[in-house]
Structure 1
Amino acid sequence: MKTTLLGYPRIGNKRELKKACEAFWSDKIDETTLLKTANDIKTQNWLQQQALGIDLIPSNDFSFYDQILDACLTFGCIPKRYKTIDSNNFLELYFAMARGLQKDNIDVTAMEMTKWFDTNYHYIVPEFEKNQSFTFFSKKIIEEYKEALKLGIKTKPVLIGPVTFLLLGKEKESGFNRLDLLDNLLPVYFEILSELTRLDAEYIQFDEPCLALNLSEKERQDITSTYNQIHHKFPDLKIYLANYFDCYGENLETVLQLPVDTLHLDLVRCPLQLDDILESKNFNPNTKLALGLVDGRNIWKNNFEASLKIIEKASKKVSFENLWISASCSLLHTPYDLDLEINLQPEIKQWLAFAKQKLEEITTLKNLASPENESYLSLFEENKLANINRQRSKLIHNENVKERIANLKESDSLRKNAFSVRQTKQKNALNLPLYPTTTIGSFPQTKEVRSWRLKYKKGLLSQEAYDFLIAKEIEDSIRFQEEIGLDVLVHGEFERNDMVEYFGEKLNGFAFSDFGWVQSYGSRCVKPPILFGDVSRDKPMTVKWSEYAQSLTDIPVKGMLTGPVTILQWSFVRNDQPRATTCNQIALAIRDEVIDLENKGLKVIQIDEPAIREGLPLRKEDWNEYLNWAVKAFRISASGVQDDTQIHTHMCYSEFNDIISNIADMDADVITIETSRSEMELLDAFVNFKYPNEIGPGVYDIHSPRVPSLEEIEQLLLKAKNVLPKAHIWVNPDCGLKTRDWPETKSALKNLVKAAKKLRAQELTLV
């Protein structure tokens, strides 16, 4: 029995990569310094895994921005608009594809981003053309394998599987299916494998998480053909086939007949699949099984007793030599090291395991499964005691919350009247023009703003002094918005850190780490709250600054909240009760906040739910159960207000086609969505469905530093106008502006307002 991993976090213990990338982008460090930071992180990761007993360590799991973007460069899958960039300047090309580029005579937009399966990680979406060719362009996978070899570590290089790579992308022209490109793509894989085998690589990890989806027969045939071809050309190469985030499901019998050495199983998301495999007539007991027992997506301590029972079950059909112990998926989704946390409450800390501790758990499980390793029995008892303590802890349970959940009624999730009635009342109350303009909520968080918050947190700034600074920043932002002519204003969220962390800090049932950072996309890192117990709200969370902002102006100001599903999805959520129950607890807390905002004169309230689509189970047969409770939770949070109070929601980087009716069931008065990177393609779902409520299709990409021209915004608005009722269209950016700088923000918003006003003027001319 051996140990292995699918991947490891890559941002550094204290976000060293994030800081280096952002310094490089702003010309504060050179390429050599950036590369040294990257090499230091990779070296530290490899040596730590080796020191903690991981037998087969992955390489090529590091990335400056995103592993699928890396794959695009590896396979020479570079959209034509980047041909103006010198291909010898690799990092400029790489980051231009990720972030866009405005420099000298170059002005290119970034590639589209979307969620990585059902996680809060975002990947860059590959773009494909008919008859596209591929080349072995970036040699990163080879270079990293060699780097590890210099340390004396023979790694398992990680490749995204060819079928998954194609399925994750999109066709940029009609008349073909992206899987038609498989025969063009495979020769590049063969070239990569040839180079790796020349370097004496023994195992190659192929990530095919598409095997957790509902695949067509054609797609399964492509999987079979792919791995048969690889085996034919490289019969001695050991293929480690990794699926994660769910079972193999109906794809299992296809997978069991593939000529691969090892099958990886996510036994956290789908523990029952082990029985299906062991009982299948197609299972070859000589196939190695990698048991993904340690949770790669959450931070709760493993239950050794339960895991050992699974190992024992597997060992009855598979020899110990053919079993691997691993995490369920890459540890990319977990923080680095619990040992860094000195401020966590000890009782809660004993229930947790971050990436480093998960390495120790994997190794301990291997040793506990070997009868001769009695020295590890004390770790077993310690683990058992921690899990028992968690079950019995008084920190977790609140009888008042449980009673309120038990007393929920159907009417608690319904607005008083239908949207058509509410819309008329809201137009009278708000008196907004055609094509009303707004932003999504946050404004740039400058170094000064962040420093105030840090000083306040450390006790170096008094409450009075901190409040004075925040109030001044809010007033300045209100005056700027009034000056450029926005129609619905925001207070800017200068007092907030993260859109989920901020609320978690003010709710009971949450704990927080100091260094629990995980990558969301590129240099964007989030520190998810630890949702360990029953959730409740003792007092208002956002009313103070929202009420203050509204007192400064006669123009409507939006109250800004994060929705219950997003708080759930973007936290490390307790795994001892149904997620639906936890979500309803959060919904009731948000509902109380919404009512308080309305009572203080806020007539527009936004409840952001960017994670609704993300939480969707991977298999369609599981969708209805999730969508029923997720939509209901949002409605519980939003339905306590009067008809003339306008409820907004925001969603970004999601595909809506399959769930558009459920989005409509949320019954938000206005929904704002990301559409600029897809050039309004994501709007098609709303148009085809005839979405009944108002929509703000984002008209510029806030994840890129480039400033959109007036003409660009006009063109996107015209696309929206051609397919949506003009009385339903809002004009707004794709997402919040927290990560942008003020100069680019001001320029972009001025263009946005000008475009909306120009469109209004054209309507008046037509009249």
Structure 2
Amino acid sequence: MAKVISSNLGYPRIGKQREWKKALDKFWNGKISEKDLLEETKTVRLEGLRKQKEKEIDLIPVGDFTLYDHVLDTAVMFGVIPERFQTDCTGTSLETYFSIARGTQNAVASEMTKWFNTNYHYIVPEFNESKPSLKENRPLDFYNEAKEELGIEGKPVLLGPITFIKLGKGYEEVEFPTLVEEFLPLYIDVLTELKEAGVKWIQIDEPIFSTALTKEDIVQAEYVYESFAKVIPEVNIIIQTYFESVDSYEKIVNLPAAAIGLDFVHGNSLEQLNKHGFPKDKKLAAGIIDGRNVWRQDLNHQIDLLESIAEIVDKENIIVQPSCSLIHVPVTTESEKALDLVIKEALSFADEKLDEISILARGLERGKESVLLEIRESTNAIEVLNHSDYRQQIVKNPAGSLSTERELVFKERIALQKERLQLPLLPTTTIGSLPQTAEVRRERLKWRKGEITDQAYEEYIKNEIKKWIDIQEEIGLDVLVHGEFERTDMVEYFGEKLNGFLVTQFGWVQSYGSRCVRPPIIFGDVTFDRPMTVKESVYAQSLTQKKVKGMLTGPVTILNWSFVRDDISRFDVLDQIAVALRFEIEELEKNGIKIIQVDEPALREGLPLKSENWDQYLNRAVHAFKLATASVQNSTQIHTHMCYSDFQDIFETISALDADVISIENSRSHGELISTFKENTYDKEIGLGVYDIHSPRVPTKEEIKANVNRALQIIPSSQFWINPDCGLKTRQETETIAALQNMTEAAKELRKAQLADVHTN
């Protein structure tokens, strides 16, 4: 009986209790040494490898671990270090590594953006005139570690050259072949050293193959993998794609490699396989367990899927694996002691998905009968949830006959808003959240544990709000925020308040750097229960004569940053969320809040990888946002916020949201977004983030003025707001106050100059 191989593509880096994050934060705060950091994170890494070995995964990935981001790892490995860090950083290589991601006082951090259509962020490589060179062989180091420490014959993971180069910046499309020529020998050196160390399998990730490729891309891909095959014919290379099916199927599956990894959860890979077949001389690494959602899969259905694949590809040539790396899901459901068993039994985190992979590999190898007990267990768990009270009352047509249009068009209602709000030219504000200190987190934890009363906790939050209202007034901001001290996370908070959601205790996933989020799980119908943000917003407004923004997370972002039930359409769930938020917005307005911000940072990231699916998604996104916001008075101003995405693709959608003011990240992309507004007319008000909050550096007043002046060459000052590029929750108090002081001083000087120009003209 030929063995069916099981494989994993990547394991969560953060540790069961976020030990990885805690070590990083301690290191950045100077509480542990670099040696301590490396030792603590090694413990986390080895534990993940040990877990995969125990679950009998045949091909265990090594080199998928990172201290910040795997794209940044690749860049640093090949010496792709921006010149500003080559001269500014004089310490260890790790100092340079973190400086690229976080910036220094003298050097702006590299751009950060979303990893395809996920909530993971990567650091964008900057290709410049300096010639790349191999600085270290990271995959080899991790391979040797796994072998020596645990006896694991690991599968090194590399980010493929086509994806790595296409995700970078600093080159024109015509120079793509030149970059391939520069990096190809470096990749060959890495692969050759791996071969000499005895490596049997190598996973080369090319998720860019799941997007629309040009003819030039295909030519370069063929050239690259033909070159690899000539150098290391003895080593089994898996060209791994994920997040979607591949458009250029026949070209991709015929690239010279031992195996091709395809996603059978998203897209139409099975249809392509049936239509075009598969090369007889290759293995098909079939991604059949969803690596991006947390629901247990019906193993009966999935083994049937594998058997359908086996009608085209011989069983011994099938590798059973998840659809993508498991970094997008939490570590294990074992830690969730408080969950209702009806829901918990239907969940599958990373460890449970590895179990599913092992079961399916055995079932395909030995026949379905050999795993009938496991199949029945998965089927029963799903059926128990689907037939429970949690899912018995499906909300039909949640939007009903609700209007999605404001009463007046923007040009007419903005005049009413200006008269009501009486804001100065170039008004200043922040995006919403203010620094959450260790003390804030401790008090919240004590409250959750029942160590302090509800009243004591509410009093503490009120004191924090008052403290920061006073600070904002002293700084001189024009529109204030209450600071969101009561919120752990902008999506998790609403998941705790709305019906149909649950929030786990330890269901953390990495978002960027050490930033981990705990996505809520949507298990049933989403409905409004009671006001969620009114109390804090109204209290903050009572402390000042200036306007305080009400702050909510938008429906699209709540959907995209949650683990969504998989038994009904995502768009139906989206409308349910929008209607629930509509009730909350109306409550804020009834209670005197005149500016309401509904953030949609995840709108762009949810864009399907296939352009033919864009219109449906964008139309439904716009519909949901307007469904949530359209019922307010004309004089109530609706804001929204988006960050770290490629906005050129959705410029018309941004305008169609019909928000009165939008704030968009601009600083970390080094002002490149401004060109979009040069090429497109935008008639509403806008704040392009004038400094990067994801870096601890404090921007100078002159730097901020330069950023604003660059924008004012394109956008009229009458439409322009001045604000940071994102929320300030993760920043320290001192650096936040210093940065906002510089921002408001810059605004005052710019305002004075603009008014002088108007007077002169």
In the superposition, the TM-score normalised over structure 2's length comes to: 0.97
Secondary structure, counterpart of 1:763 in structure 2: helix
CA gap 1:3/1:728 in 2 versus in 1, 3 angstroms: same
- Aligned pair partner of 2:260 in 253, 259, 263: 263
- State the alpha-carbon separation in 2 of the partners of residues 304 and 269 from structure 1: 17
- State the alpha-carbon separation in 1 of the partners of residues 174 and 312 from structure 2: 44
Report the AA paired with residue 113 of structure 1.
M
- Aligned pair partner of 2:401 in 403, 408, 430: 408
**Once the 2 structures are TM-superposed, how far is the Cα of residue 176 of structure 1 from its aligned partner?**
5.2
**Once the 2 structures are TM-superposed, how far is the Cα of residue 388 of structure 1 from its aligned partner?**
1.5
Q: Which residue of 1 aligns with 2:228?
A: 230
Task: Say how many residue pairs are matched.
Answer: 754
- State the alpha-carbon separation in 2 of the partners of residues 531 and 175 from structure 1: 42
- 1:591–1:640 Cα contact (<8 Å) kept: yes
Report the AA paired with residue 734 of structure 2.
P
- Aligned pair partner of 2:321 in 323, 326, 336: 326
**Once the 2 structures are TM-superposed, how far is the Cα of residue 324 of structure 1 from its aligned partner?**
0.8
- 1:672–1:696 Cα contact (<8 Å) kept: yes
**Once the 2 structures are TM-superposed, how far is the Cα of residue 373 of structure 1 from its aligned partner?**
7.8
After superposition, residues 98-247 of structure 1 pair within 5 angstroms as 98-102=101-105, 107-129=106-128, 132-150=130-148, 151-171=150-170, 177-247=175-245
Report the AA paired with residue 472 of structure 1.
N
Secondary structure, counterpart of 2:15 in structure 1: coil
Q: Which residue of 1 aligns with 2:22?
A: 19
**Matching of residue 364 in structure 1 with residue 367 in structure 2:** no
- State the alpha-carbon separation in 2 of the partners of residues 140 and 403 from structure 1: 52
- 1:133–1:185 Cα contact (<8 Å) kept: no
CA gap 1:714/1:372 in 2 versus in 1, 3 angstroms: closer
- Aligned pair partner of 1:316 in 298, 308, 311: 311
**Once the 2 structures are TM-superposed, how far is the Cα of residue 152 of structure 1 from its aligned partner?**
1.1
**Once the 2 structures are TM-superposed, how far is the Cα of residue 554 of structure 1 from its aligned partner?**
1.1
**Once the 2 structures are TM-superposed, how far is the Cα of residue 39 of structure 1 from its aligned partner?**
1.0
Unpaired runs of at least 5, structure 2: none
CA gap 1:430/1:129 in 2 versus in 1, 3 angstroms: same
- State the alpha-carbon separation in 2 of the partners of residues 507 and 146 from structure 1: 48
Q: Which residue of 2 aligns with 1:665?
A: 656
CA offset digits 1:554-588 (Å, max 9, x no partner) = 10000000000000000001111111110000000
- State the alpha-carbon separation in 1 of the partners of residues 258 and 153 from structure 2: 18
- State the alpha-carbon separation in 2 of the partners of residues 497 and 654 from structure 1: 23
- Out of 594-603 and 139-148, give the one that drifted further: 139-148
Secondary structure, counterpart of 1:114 in structure 2: strand
**Once the 2 structures are TM-superposed, how far is the Cα of residue 393 of structure 1 from its aligned partner?**
2.0
CA offset digits 1:432-471 (Å, max 9, x no partner) = 0000000000100011111111111111111111111111
Q: Which residue of 2 aligns with 1:254?
A: 251
CA offset digits 1:592-635 (Å, max 9, x no partner) = 11111011111000000000000000011110010010111011
Q: Which residue of 1 aligns with 2:555?
A: 564
Q: Which residue of 2 aligns with 1:276?
A: 272
* Percent pairwise identity: 47
**Once the 2 structures are TM-superposed, how far is the Cα of residue 256 of structure 1 from its aligned partner?**
2.2
**Once the 2 structures are TM-superposed, how far is the Cα of residue 374 of structure 1 from its aligned partner?**
4.8
- 1:286–1:318 Cα contact (<8 Å) kept: no
- Aligned pair partner of 2:492 in 501, 526, 536: 501
**Once the 2 structures are TM-superposed, how far is the Cα of residue 285 of structure 1 from its aligned partner?**
2.1
Secondary structure, counterpart of 2:420 in structure 1: helix
- State the alpha-carbon separation in 2 of the partners of residues 383 and 482 from structure 1: 57
**Once the 2 structures are TM-superposed, how far is the Cα of residue 278 of structure 1 from its aligned partner?**
4.0
Report the AA paired with residue 137 of structure 1.
K
Secondary structure, counterpart of 1:492 in structure 2: coil
**Once the 2 structures are TM-superposed, how far is the Cα of residue 143 of structure 1 from its aligned partner?**
0.9
**Once the 2 structures are TM-superposed, how far is the Cα of residue 82 of structure 1 from its aligned partner?**
0.9
- State the alpha-carbon separation in 2 of the partners of residues 302 and 37 from structure 1: 34
- 2:551–2:598 Cα contact (<8 Å) kept: yes
- 1:128–1:178 Cα contact (<8 Å) kept: no
**Matching of residue 52 in structure 1 with residue 55 in structure 2:** yes
Report the AA paired with residue 368 of structure 1.
G
- State the alpha-carbon separation in 2 of the partners of residues 495 and 687 from structure 1: 40
- State the alpha-carbon separation in 1 of the partners of residues 739 and 322 from structure 2: 44
Report the AA paired with residue 89 of structure 1.
T
**Once the 2 structures are TM-superposed, how far is the Cα of residue 178 of structure 1 from its aligned partner?**
4.1
- 2:88–2:107 Cα contact (<8 Å) kept: no
Secondary structure, counterpart of 1:607 in structure 2: strand
- 2:264–2:286 Cα contact (<8 Å) kept: yes
- Aligned pair partner of 1:746 in 718, 721, 737: 737
Q: Which residue of 2 aligns with 1:348?
A: 343
- 1:647–1:669 Cα contact (<8 Å) kept: yes
After superposition, residues 543-554 of structure 1 pair within 5 angstroms as 543-554=534-545
CA offset digits 1:287-344 (Å, max 9, x no partner) = 1011111110010001101111111112222222111110000001010011111011
After superposition, residues 326-475 of structure 1 pair within 5 angstroms as 326-371=321-366, 374=369, 376-398=371-393, 401-402=395-396, 404-405=398-399, 407-409=400-402, 412-475=403-466
- 1:609–1:649 Cα contact (<8 Å) kept: yes
**Once the 2 structures are TM-superposed, how far is the Cα of residue 398 of structure 1 from its aligned partner?**
3.2
**Once the 2 structures are TM-superposed, how far is the Cα of residue 133 of structure 1 from its aligned partner?**
1.8
CA offset digits 1:387-418 (Å, max 9, x no partner) = 2222222212435x42534x234xx1111111
